[in-house]
Structure 1
Amino acid sequence: MDSEYFLVDQGLAEPAPLTFRYHRFAPHSEFGRHRHRWGQLSRISLGLMELLLEDRRVVTPAQYLLWTPAEIPHAAYIRHAMHYTSIYINREQAARLPAHICLIEQTPLIRALLDDFCQRQITVISDPWDARQAELLVERLVRAGHEESYLPDSAQRLLQPILQAIRQDPADATTLKQWAERVFSTERTLARLFQRELGMSFGQWRSRARLVEALSRLKQGDSVQDISARLGYATPSAFIAMFQKQLGDSPERYRRQLLQEGQWQDGVNV
């Protein structure tokens, strides 16, 4: 393969069954094309992480874990200052997870198990009780299901112009029925294609696109009122409700976290 391991990976023993590493990243941290010896779960404290593959881009918000199997070449980009946790998984346990890069939702139990490891700054697991906790964590990861990307793309000819338009202007309020007329299709056909190609409804995909834009604008310092108006919400409360549903937190609390974590200026390679 033409992609190199990071130097810190080369000295790591195989996880038993997990190995944790903790970092703080500066805004706009970029990591060139590389690969890992072990399957890797990436956990970020807030914001978005982008993984760049040969054929697609995977966007991950903080409520998901990013699963990257061993030996898959990729590059990465982190938009905001944040805490970052890398969790390596040994070959036996990694074989139970998907064989491709995907997102795994942090259910309440998965989050609690990870929070406990992270709060104690566990790196190599040696305690028998921690080993049992790690086994439970992997079991819950296997059962949690997965998504291909938070904001998936599609080359399907009817969907492509719709997705492109919303990416360029997430506030676009064109209904699915109106889109059907524009692309010479039917509302039912488009609804079926969204589910088949993207695994979600038109409304869900557009809400996610709006959230990605909102995160960027919160980082720039825009007010909640301005963002809600820019994204086409009738009231700020409607925007706040969407934000809380997607991230489990309010926009203002998210902004405070950005301000706190944005004081770091040290980026460390994954």
Structure 2
Amino acid sequence: METIGQFLSPTRRAEILPFETAPRPIVGFACDYPSGFSSGSHSHPRAQLLYAISGVMRVETQNSNYVVPPTTALFLPADARHAVKMDGPVAMRELFLREDAASRVGLQPKVIAVSALLREVIIAACAEPVEWAPKGRGYHLAELSLDEIARATPLPLGLPLPHDARLRRVVSAIRDRPNDNRSMEEWGDVANASSRTLARIFRAETGLSFRQWRQQARLTEALSALTMGAPPSKAASIAGFESIPAFGAAFRTLFGITPRQARQLRPDIRR
């Protein structure tokens, strides 16, 4: 059962406000969430780096859907509307960035690879008080985190979302069952549109062909499963591949690592 979080309740607003208004370029916020927690659509006046030391977050913005497993983080600019849903229990460790700090790492949403160093810096920053000493440990952590975020490798974990209502029905069904092998003609029946119309609108609104979008969606779901400990054979099935070698080749082409390497990235230590 989905857990809907009262993310914008008065209590929640009061809890978050000090982190959104702190007179520091970066402050860390730590919170653990239950499986199925859904924040609902909201925004923050400061940019954020969303990271989880365990669990998988699914973040949907107005234009894209992101799967954010451990070893990755999502940068969102200030005022970006988004909703977060937790796949399993999630231990979130988040950074809020003031405008001057955010301008040093980019202005667009992006998923980045989290190095071992950045992981430890984020955790340490979350242990600092909101108003850390201007020239103390918090200052050095903030400077190091900004440098690491700017240097981090962007990852193709954002799926562009179409706005057309017919395509939304197709996209929703594929996200629920990524290994669904229905043809474009069969999806046309779901969307009440011709396959040619679907293909044209899909390309126009996402920049990808239907086949490309579905493959990336499948492989992203497989990555999420692998980081949660699923074996490569299970991940291949999720992605709709009957051949594990073919799955491995496609996975490596998209993410630059093998399924086995992705599985080994699963963090074992919670703090």
Q: Does 1:236 pair with 2:244?
A: yes
**2:110 match:** 104
The one of 40, 44, 55 aligned to 2:48: 40
Q: Report if aligned partners of 2:178, 2:218 keep a CA contact under 8 Å in 1.
A: yes
Q: Quick one: which amino acid aligns to residue 234 of structure 1?
A: E
* Partner Cα distance (1:231, 1:18) in 2: 38
Q: Report if aligned partners of 1:21, 1:86 keep a CA contact under 8 Å in 2.
A: yes
Count of residues paired in the alignment: 250
Q: Quick one: which amino acid aligns to residue 136 of structure 1?
A: D
Q: Report if aligned partners of 2:46, 2:77 keep a CA contact under 8 Å in 1.
A: yes
Task: Provide the identity percentage.
Answer: 23
Q: What SS does the corresponding residue of 1:163 show, helix, strand or coil?
A: helix
Q: Does 1:115 pair with 2:126?
A: no
**2:87 match:** 79
Q: What SS does the corresponding residue of 1:151 show, helix, strand or coil?
A: strand
Q: Quick one: which amino acid aligns to residue 104 of structure 1?
A: K
Q: Quick one: which amino acid aligns to residue 7 of structure 1?
A: A
Gaps of 5+ in 1: none
Q: Report if aligned partners of 2:28, 2:95 keep a CA contact under 8 Å in 1.
A: yes
Residues 238 and 203 (structure 1 numbering): CA distance in 2 closer, same or farther, change over 3 Å?
A: same
Q: What SS does the corresponding residue of 1:79 show, helix, strand or coil?
A: strand
Q: Does 1:205 pair with 2:216?
A: no
Q: Report if aligned partners of 2:68, 2:74 keep a CA contact under 8 Å in 1.
A: no
Q: Quick one: which amino acid aligns to residue 85 of structure 1?
A: R
The structure with higher relative contact order (CA 8 Å, sep 6+) is 1
Q: What SS does the corresponding residue of 2:158 show, helix, strand or coil?
A: coil
* Partner Cα distance (1:21, 1:59) in 2: 21
Gaps of 5+ in 2: 1-7
Residues 76 and 211 (structure 1 numbering): CA distance in 2 closer, same or farther, change over 3 Å?
A: same
Q: Does 1:166 pair with 2:174?
A: yes
The one of 68, 73, 82 aligned to 1:61: 68
* Partner Cα distance (1:52, 1:256) in 2: 26
Q: Deviation of residue 20 (structure 1)? A: 1.9
Q: Deviation of residue 244 (structure 1)? A: 5.0
Q: What SS does the corresponding residue of 2:205 show, helix, strand or coil?
A: helix
Cα distance per residue 1:73-95 (max 9 Å; x no partner)? 65422112344220110122335
Q: What SS does the corresponding residue of 1:170 show, helix, strand or coil?
A: coil
Q: Does 1:155 pair with 2:166?
A: no
Q: Quick one: which amino acid aligns to residue 18 of structure 2?
A: G
Q: Deviation of residue 66 (structure 1)? A: 2.7
State TM-score, norm by structure 1. Answer: 0.63
The one of 10, 19, 25 aligned to 2:17: 10
* Partner Cα distance (1:211, 1:239) in 2: 9
* Partner Cα distance (2:227, 2:123) in 1: 26
Q: Quick one: which amino acid aligns to residue 185 of structure 1?
A: R
Q: Deviation of residue 215 (structure 1)? A: 6.0
State TM-score, norm by structure 2. Answer: 0.63
Q: Report if aligned partners of 1:28, 1:80 keep a CA contact under 8 Å in 2.
A: yes
Q: How large is the RMSD of aligned CA atoms in angstroms? A: 4.7
